Structures are given as C-alpha cells and as structure tokens.
Amino acid sequence: MTEEASISDLLPLIAVALNDKAAADAYEELATAREERDIPRKVEVTRCLNNGEDEDEDAEAVVFASAMFEDGKYGSNTNLWSVTLEQNSNNTCRLADLRDCHICVGGGFPVATLDDEFPNDAGFQGFFNGENSESSSDACAVSFCFSPYSTWLGLWIHGWPREEWEAFIQSPSYGPDDICHYLVDIVAAQHPEATVEFRAVSFVARYIHGALKRLLPPRRKEEVRTDRDRRIAENHDPDGEALYHFVGMTMREQGNEASPVLFMSQVHSIMGFLGAMGVNRLGVNDDLIMTAIETHERLGDEGLQEMQNQLGQDEEEESEEGDGDDEEESEEEDGDDEEESEEDEEDGLLIKEEQVGGSRPYVEEANEV
C-alpha cells in the first residue's frame, strides 16, 4: 500500500474526528453561554470568607447550592415563594464554615449573611425544626429568618448526634439570636465532621412582586398562580384559624414562654386533642378548650392523653348506662304487654263463660288446649 493511499484512507476518520471535536466544542460553548445566561436568574448560597476579606480575587466563586428563581413555587404557606436548592456535589459546606455563607441573587449580590458577627447587620434568628419528615437520616432541620424582609433559609445538619440536638431543643439556654453562634462555635468544635445541606430559600411574596412579575415566564406565572389559588381555596378554614389563634394567644397570656419551635409543637398538640374531641371551632365547647390548654400547661402531652382516655371512658360508661336504661324500659314494656295479654285472655274467657252459661269445665279444657 502506497503512502498516498494510506493517507487517503485515513481522511474520512480525520474528518469524523474533526467534526466530533467541533461538535464537542460547540456543545461546550453552548453550555457555557447557557450558564452565563442563567447565573443572574439564580438563587445561590455561596462562600464569602470573612465577608470577602479573605477571598482570592482570581479563584472561582464557591457555590454550595443553587437553583433558578423561576423554578420556585408558592410554599405550603402561600405567602412565601420557595426555591428548592440543588446541592453542588463539588463543594460541601462544613458546619464550621456556616458563618461564611451568604444568600446571593443576580450572580453574587448578597441578600443575607449568616455572619452573626457582621457589624451593622439587620440581624437574623435561627429556629430548630427538629426531625424533618423528608429526611431518611438523623439530620437536624434548622431554619433561619433574616431581617428586614423575612427571607428564610432552610437547611439540614448532618453529623450532629440525634440525642444531642434533641436535648438542645428541649433546653431554653439559647435564644433564636444565638443559634448560629452555638452551631459554629460549640457544635462544630465538638463534631468537626458535621456538614450542612442547604435545602431551600423562601421569600415573602409581597416583598418580591417585581421579581415574580419580570423573572417568571408567562406560562410559568400562570401555572404557579393557579396552583396557589387552588390550595388557598381548599385550605381556607376561618373557624379553624380562629381557634388556632385563640389557643396560641391564650397560652402566651397564661405565661407560656417556650421557644417558637417548642411553642408551635405545643399548640399543635392541643389542636390535635381538640380535633379528636370533635371541637373544630370556638363556641362548640369553650370549657373543654380552656381545660385542654390548662391541662397541657401543667402536664404536657401526657396530661392531654390521660384526659382523652378519661373522656372516652366516660362516654363508654354513659353508653352502657343508656343501654341498661333501654333494657329496663324494654323489660317494663314487655311486662306491661304480658299483663295486657293476660287481661285480654281473661276477658276472652269471661266472654266464653257467658256464651256457655258459665261452665267452668269449658274454661279448664280451653286452658289445656
């Protein structure tokens, strides 16, 4: 085979390779262009070491989690626009680095910082949600609320033993303003392997009307509004909301100073008890409502359970007494019927006696028959 023939035979393969490379280059350019286009429309949790003082200007930005703003939806609380975050598999946030995290939009403009030592900051508070039903592990769910526009960040903490965070939730030693300090300076020091998984960022919808109007495509805007309005119509229960508000206000007025997470759990316990008792609005059995609140304040969930058992037992006893009364009434009615039957028989016999001229043997024969 000549050299010219060998080269000519390779030309198709070379052309295919060049085409493949051109296609690969085009795909990469397209992906880069798409990423550059999407970055300004993303909600991100980024690292900002010492609020930017220690960041390398030439290094790539460290993004722990992100999502497109338009992919969000109205949350279970329809007053919130919630964006579920996707974790960046290349960057894992250690709990010890939580203070260096910012929530950013528009490609890196911060809307909130988790640095509780940042000067002149509007401030934020942390709340423990405890076990999250969406998690298959022992991850502890925590929410942070940032002033002044009530932006919420939900996250899970992995690597913090369950028994420890459960005990902490029951402890009143730290308030909402101290949660970040406790997590970074105490928990992370005890468990340096602990990590953070950022779950969602939620914005109060009325504060971001401009973004909702301009960043959502028309079809997406129609979809989320329809879904929101449907859920509002399905869940609207003014009587239940009034009862819920009354229970919470009464508990606070009676001196309940539990942390927000514990307090909401207590309110839900009382509402669950009232629901089991068939009380779903004010005015049905207000005495039972007040008794339930007072019982829970003194004895907790166990007191409500004992109260429910006692009420159930009382209902069974009343039911049994009612059945006994019915039986007695039935027996009395049966006795009356027997007496009436005997009287009727006697009347019939007297008639027969008169018909046969008062013959007693006829009566005896008739009784035998």
Residue 185 scores a pLDDT above 90: yes
Task: Look up residue 271 and give its two tokens.
Answer: 């509402």
Ranges 100-104, 120-124, 146-150, 219-223: which has the least confidence: 120-124
* Residue 274, beta-bridge partner list: none
Report the Cα–Cα distance between both ends of the chain, in Å, rounded. 132
In this model, does residue 270 exceed pLDDT 70? yes
Closest by CA to 85, choosing from 197, 199, 195, is 199
Tokens, residue 90: 């290349």
**Which residue is listed with tokens 């105490």?**
186
Q: What is the pLDDT of residues 238-252, one digit of tens each?
A: 888 899 999 999 999
pTM: 0.64
At 121 the three-state DSSP class reads coil
Structure confidence at residue 320 (pLDDT): 63
| Residue 31 region by backbone torsions, left for phi larger than 0, else alpha for psi between -120 and 50, else beta | alpha
